[in-house]
Structure formats: C-alpha cells, structure tokens
Chain A
Amino acid sequence: MPTIVFVSPKGGAGKTTSSLILADQLARSAGVTIIDADPNRPIENWAKGGAKPERLHVVADADEENIVERIEEAAARTPFVIVDLEGTASKIVVMAVSQADFVIVPTQGSQLDAEQAGRAFRVIQQQEKMVQRRVPGYRLPYSVLLTRTNSAIRTRTLAHIEKGLVAAGVPVFDTELNEREAFRAMFSFRQPLAGLNPADVANLDKAVANAEQFAQEVITALRKVQQAPAEGV
C-alpha cells in the first residue's frame, strides 16, 4: 500500500540512486513496483541488465497524463510502490506527491541542493494544508535523505544545512546515503547490490549495510504512518 515518492526539483541529488537502493532492499522481502517517471528512464535501462530481482517490477511508461493511473495500478499489485521523478520543478512531481503516502527528498550537502529542496518542502506542505481543508486529519509525511555524504568526514556545509533543516522543523532521516562506489556500480554493472562482485567494487559490505539501514528506517517511518494515519509522523 505505501506509495513512496522521491522528489527533488534539482537534478543529481540522488533520487534515482536512492529510489533504486530502497526498491532493491524492499524487494528482498516483498513485492515492489518502481515507477520510473524520469524521461531518461534510468531505472528501465538498469533493468535491461537482466539482473532485476523477481519481486521488483519496473513501470517505465509513466508521464504526466497517466502517472496517477500508474500509481493506482501499482498499489493494487504490490505492497510497495516507489516513484522516481525527474529532477525538475514540473507538474508531474506535484501530481505524484498528491498520491503519495510518504515523500522522500534526497538532498546533497550543498547550499544549492538545500535551496531547491526548500521548493519541494513548500509544495508538500501546501498540498497537505490544502487537502486538509477537505479531509481533516490528512497528513502527508516527508523526510529529507542526505545523500552522497562522506562516511568519514562531516563537512561544515553539511552540518550547517542539517542544522538549518532541523531548526526549520524539517524531518531528516538519521541514516545518510554515503558516497559509495557500489551505488554507482549498481548502474554501471546493471545489478542489484547483492549481485555485485566484491572483487570489482570496493567496500561493498559497507554499501550494503548503509542500504539496509536506510531501508530499515523507511520501513519504521512507514509503519508509524500506517499505525497512526490520523497523526502521521
């Protein structure tokens, strides 16, 4: 049932990578449909490698006209639906957000990324506020995912941005997605994380642990939403 939408009006924030990491992890336990609504179809290209997990379904014909239909079809077919959108401020983004149970805003630790992420928060908050007028108690929970962070060094810019987000009351996942070769290798080898060879990819175990931790935190957040639909998270 949960539809998780990845949003960032800025390209390169890590939407496709983080949505594929989450889909790949969830597909270890449950059926997942990933809707590739990026016109470049990066997930579809990844799936062409032939190593797509059996429980992971890829829908790659979504556009502004049919996105809502595609999400509804997918939600009826698999327990989890993940929507990866293009990195622009386009209407399809807001349409997908309107159908979401949870929105994830991947953001890199740069001022530019954080400013663009702010546009995403405004859209999410406004959507929630306006639907609440018709459906009292409606909540549209969201969280920021800091991406491509360095596992060893915490830059001052990142610390500043995270502090700013927390101060503004914006929820931020405890787990960050680190900059890992394995996350890039998923695309270059067109493999799920578990299909990569540790001989080819450095620190694969650390990438797997990072991906599992991220998926675990998302599952916990989704359970909270499911258990207390009126309160959200």
Chain B
Amino acid sequence: MTERVNPFGDLGDFSAAPAKSKTGHLDVAEEVAAANGFTSRQPAKPVAPAAPPAPAAPVEPAAAALATPNKPPKEALPSRRRTTGRSEQVNIKTTFAAKKRLMEISVERDMPLGEILELALEALEASWAEPS
C-alpha cells in the first residue's frame, strides 16, 4: 500500500533531549508499588552460590532435576511489616471511617500503626495540658 501524505505535520516541537531526571520519583514508585500490591516478578538473582548438595543421600535423577537451582522462587506477597520493637497487641472496635482514616495516614505518611497511636496519644495529652 502506498503511504498517504503524513497527517501529523511537523513534530519538531518534540525533540530528543536528556530527560529531566526523574530518578527521585523512583523511591516513591517503590512505595506506591508496595502499597498497591504491584510486586516484583523478576526472578531474584542468586546472591550467593547455592549450598553444595549434600552427598550423603544418593538422589534419583528425576528428583535431582526437580531440585535444580533454576526453579523460580515462590512469589512473596507485599508486606508493610516492619521491626519496631512494639510487641503488644491492641484489638480495638471502631467505625469504618476511623479505620480508613488510620490506614490512609499510615500509607500516606509511611508510618506503622503503632507509631500513629503513640503520636495521637501524645497530641491528645498535649491538648489536655494546654491551659484552656
């Protein structure tokens, strides 16, 4: 098919230029990906060589083929779990709206729920201490 006249005219106003560096947006992307369950699908590169196979038990060839180191690792679910030293559980009944607000603050500020509770208590006590 012969090509017709180019309908787009001059696109010279779009030029190749060193892109504005958006590398700063990357750590945001990491958080957004984790918060929305967009997990890594890239097979993890082996960091250290796999432990040498134990020569004790003779392995059947079929079983050996199943245990090849190329087997993709099990996909991990995104986790917001972190080690904070807070180990006490509080199970609180609340309204959906309050819970939603709590979760939103946690996601937006990237704060563990325990930290929000502590800060909220501090703020509450500070407000009580203020002379009215």
Q: Is the CB of B11 within 8 A of A26?
A: yes
Q: Is the CB of A90 within 8 A of B7?
A: no
A2 to B8, CA, bound (A): 16
Q: Is the CB of A26 within 8 A of B19?
A: no
Instruction: Evaluate whether A64 and B41 lie within 8 angstroms (CB atoms) in the complex, with A29-B11, A75-B19 already known.
Output: yes
Residues of A within 8 A of B19 (CB): 1, 3, 71-72, 75-76, 99
Instruction: Evaluate whether A75 and B29 lie within 8 angstroms (CB atoms) in the complex, with A89-B37, A122-B36 already known.
Output: no
Q: Is the CB of A95 within 8 A of B26?
A: yes
Residue of A92, A130, A215, A223 with most partner-chain B CB within 10 A? A130
Q: Is the CB of B32 within 8 A of A127?
A: yes
Q: Is the CB of B42 within 8 A of A92?
A: yes
**B contact patch SS:** loop
Contact partner of B25 (CB less than 8 A), chosen from A75, A77, A99, is A99
Interface 1/0 per residue, A97-140 and B, CB below 8 Å: 11100000000000000000001001100110011001100000
Interface residue total, chain A, C-beta cutoff 8 A? 57
A226 to B1, CA, bound (A): 34
Closest-by-CB residue of B relative to A1 is B17
Instruction: Evaluate whether A26 and B8 lie within 8 angstroms (CB atoms) in the complex, with A1-B16, A68-B26, A78-B16 already known.
Output: yes
Question: Does residue B10 face the partner (Cβ distance < 8 Å to A)?
Answer: yes
Q: Is the CB of B16 within 8 A of A226?
A: no
Closest-by-CB residue of B relative to A130 is B28
Q: Is the CB of B16 within 8 A of A75?
A: yes
Interface 1/0 per residue, B2-14 and A, CB below 8 Å: 0110111111111
Interface 1/0 per residue, B26-52 and A, CB below 8 Å: 101111110111111110000000000
